[in-house]
Amino acid sequence: MATKEHIKMPGLATDTVWLEVKDIIRDASERLCRSAGMTYRGAETVGFNQGIDAGQTVHHAHVHILPATEEDPVELRRRGGIGGAFEELRKNRVKS
């Protein structure tokens, strides 16, 4: 049973809550794929915003999930995910 405790930011969650989150991510990924008629690959891109300066606009912890599927085009199979987003941010900040 998932906790119903209000948590303002992911970093404030207890270890027990994080264990629940792990299971929730997998369950949500499987359900999202099933409802879209896609085959879950057992992997996903997961992210959250923590703090106003990081883009958090809703002051409760929530997670963004993008499951990887068998139906994804080949060029997306090893998509940049969060790492790709960080690389783009680094390029824009460093201007190398």
pLDDT digits (tens, 9 = 90+) for 84-96: 666 666 676 666 5
Provide the sign of the torsion angle of the four alpha carbons 60, 23, 34, 82, taken in this order: positive
* Interatomic CA distance for residues 49 and 55, integer angstroms: 6
Task: Provide the pLDDT for residue 82.
Answer: 67
- pTM of the entire structure? 0.71
Residue 1 has pLDDT above 60, yes or no: no
* Interatomic CA distance for residues 79 and 88, integer angstroms: 13
Task: Provide the pLDDT for residue 26.
Answer: 96
Q: Which residues contact 1 (CB under 8 A, 6 or more apart)?
A: none
Residue 25 has pLDDT above 70, yes or no: yes
Residue in the block written with tokens 């923590």: 50
pLDDT digits (tens, 9 = 90+) for 35-71: 999 999 999 888 888 888 888 888 888 888 888 889 8
